[in-house]
Amino acid sequence: MKPDICEKLDIIDDLFTPERLVKSKERWRRLWNDEPVLDRYPFVYAPINVNYYAPAMNPEERLRVMLDEIILRGTIQDDFIPAFFPGCRQATIPNMFGAPEIKVGTSYDCERIIFEADDVYRLPSLSMGEGTIANEWIAMQAYVMRETDNRLPIHVTDMQGPVDVCGQMWGYDNLLAAAYTDPDEYHYLLEKVATAFNFFWQSQKFMAGKLFVGTHLFGWDWVPEGMGATVSADSLVMVSSNFYQEFFQPYLEQISEYCGGITVHSCGDFSATIPALLKTKGIRGINAGQMTLAQLVNAGATKKVVIIAWANDGNIEETFQLIREHNLRVSLTIGNYWPWENGTPKPMSAWSADEREMFDGQFEKVLSLATNV
């Protein structure tokens, strides 16, 4: 272990004392297991200085950035649990079937490798061998475990869900049309990709062992053991409930059965599919990238699932009111109010009196609301 890494881990241990971690984990455990609140509702602040889903970092750079972020976060008395989050590369699973990764702007996608329906039968067997993105993820996680001497939990990476993986390999328009025009090929491909998802999920879980944190929704959140898999399904915004039930649900349930439950994410407004989503076997949570808690409740979300959502200064009171009125279970991220200067976050020691007062006042408001749910 490098001396500066050891020093940062020691600082993190001082900030996140065993007593603090035990209490925060118990708050989250009760939320996810639908048990009475411990002393207050759990909540976590948004990231301060890290794009959790940025893919383009080598393992050493990623570790140092994450450690610095965790130290900053340690000064906020929320329920953040220190852990390493690898990032997101949308081409992870397509690459397991030979699709080359390509950079599109600031995002990473893959080259299309399916052009005709019959091409699905010519896909190579899935591979996590040397040179694959999946192998690079495993290598990063192994590096972090070695370099930190197993002192830091390891999140699963965000590797996208079956339909979106297939949409990358075939093109979304072609894939969705094939559900009707070439159903055998559609279902063959989706089953193959869901199996690959399960295989890579289990590979990461095996690698991390007791350090494994089974969520990438959000990358700064924490879940207790036994909550199953988290799956990104941004294409939910494109389909109806009927399409979801026939062409999405079987493959989410395949993952749910294998992993012991499932939490599903979509960006955009996927209100139309929420009633059907709640009928998915093993559903444990819903994560919305852009929808507010009020929108999710209006669409039919209930305490049957944990709702992973944001709140900011404009809707914090409304958010906690909805939690009380509907007896909801919400894994809540509070918008970031950390002051910055010259493009970097200011250390607390450099805050002005006004900045300190503003942040403390906002935190006290959240704390009061969380205590009086």
State pLDDT tens for residues 89-118.
999 999 999 999 998 776 778 999 999 999
Question: What is the tens place of the pLDDT at every residue in 288-337?
Answer: 988 999 999 999 999 999 999 999 888 999 999 999 999 999 999 999 88
Strands 107-110 and 101-104: antiparallel
User: Model confidence at 56, in pLDDT bands (50, 70, 90)?
Assistant: low
Amino acid 347: pLDDT: 86
Amino acid 314: pLDDT: 86
Strands 262-266 and 283-288: parallel
Residues 6+ apart with CB under 8 A from 104: none
What sign for the dihedral angle of Cα 44, 108, 255, 247? positive
User: Model confidence at 70, in pLDDT bands (50, 70, 90)?
Assistant: very high
Give residue limits of the domains in the chain: 3-371
Strands lying side by side in the sheet with 229-232: 43-45, 329-334, 306-311, 283-288, 262-266, 229-232
Say which residue, 54 or 121, is predicted with more confidence. 121
Amino acid 105: pLDDT: 73
Domain 3-371 CATH assignment equals 3.20.20.210? yes
Mean pLDDT of the chain: 95
User: Model confidence at 213, in pLDDT bands (50, 70, 90)?
Assistant: very high
Amino acid 106: pLDDT: 67
pLDDT at 185 over 90: yes
Q: In sequence order, what are the beta bridge partners of 230?
A: 263
User: Model confidence at 243, in pLDDT bands (50, 70, 90)?
Assistant: very high
**Percent over 90 (pLDDT), the chain:** 90
Rounded average pLDDT over 86-90: 92
User: Model confidence at 187, in pLDDT bands (50, 70, 90)?
Assistant: very high
Amino acid 20: pLDDT: 98
Question: What is the tens place of the pLDDT at every residue in 145-169?
Answer: 999 999 999 999 998 899 999 999 9
Q: Does residue 234 contact residue 164 with C-beta atoms inside 8 Å? A: yes
